[in-house]
Chains A and B, each alone.
Chain A
Amino acid sequence: DQQVKQNSPSLSVQEGRISILNCDYTNSMFDYFLWYKKYPAEGPTFLISISSIKDKNEDGRFTVFLNKSAKHLSLHIVPSQPGDSAVYFCAAFQGGSEKLVFGKGTKLTVNP
Chain B
Amino acid sequence: DARVTQTPRHKVTEMGQEVTMRCQPILGHNTVFWYRQTMMQGLELLAYFRNRAPLDDSGMPKDRFSAEMPDATLATLKIQPSEPRDSAVYFCASGRGTYNEQFFGPGTRLTVL
Residues of A within 8 A of B (CB): 32, 34, 36, 41-46, 49, 51, 89, 93, 96-105
A102 touches B104 (CB 8 A): no
B106 touches A41 (CB 8 A): yes
Q: CA A104 – CA B39 in complex, angstroms? A: 8
B98 touches A44 (CB 8 A): no
Which residues in A have their C-beta under 8 angstroms from that of B101? 34, 46, 49
Q: B65 within 8 Å of A by Cβ?
A: no
Which residues in B have their C-beta under 8 angstroms from that of A44? 43, 91, 104
A102 touches B43 (CB 8 A): yes
Q: B42 within 8 Å of A by Cβ?
A: yes
* Chain B 69-113 interface 0/1 with A at a Cβ cutoff of 8 Å (1 = within): 000000000000000000000010101011101111111000000
Distance (whole angstroms) from the CB of B52 to the closest CB of chain A: 14
Which among B31, B35, B91, B106 is the interface contact of A98 at CB below 8 angstroms? B31
A98 touches B98 (CB 8 A): yes
Which residues in B have their C-beta under 8 angstroms from that of A93? 98-99
Which residues in A have their C-beta under 8 angstroms from that of B4? 43
Q: CA A93 – CA B41 in complex, angstroms? A: 18
Distance (whole angstroms) from the CB of B40 to the closest CB of chain A: 9
Q: B45 within 8 Å of A by Cβ?
A: yes
Which among A43, A49, A89, A96 is the interface contact of B93 at CB below 8 angstroms? A43
A100 and B105 in contact, given A43-B93, A93-B98 (Cβ under 8 angstroms): no
A43 and B106 in contact, given A93-B99, A96-B98, A98-B50 (Cβ under 8 angstroms): yes
Which residues in B have their C-beta under 8 angstroms from that of A45? 104
Q: CA A42 – CA B93 in complex, angstroms? A: 12
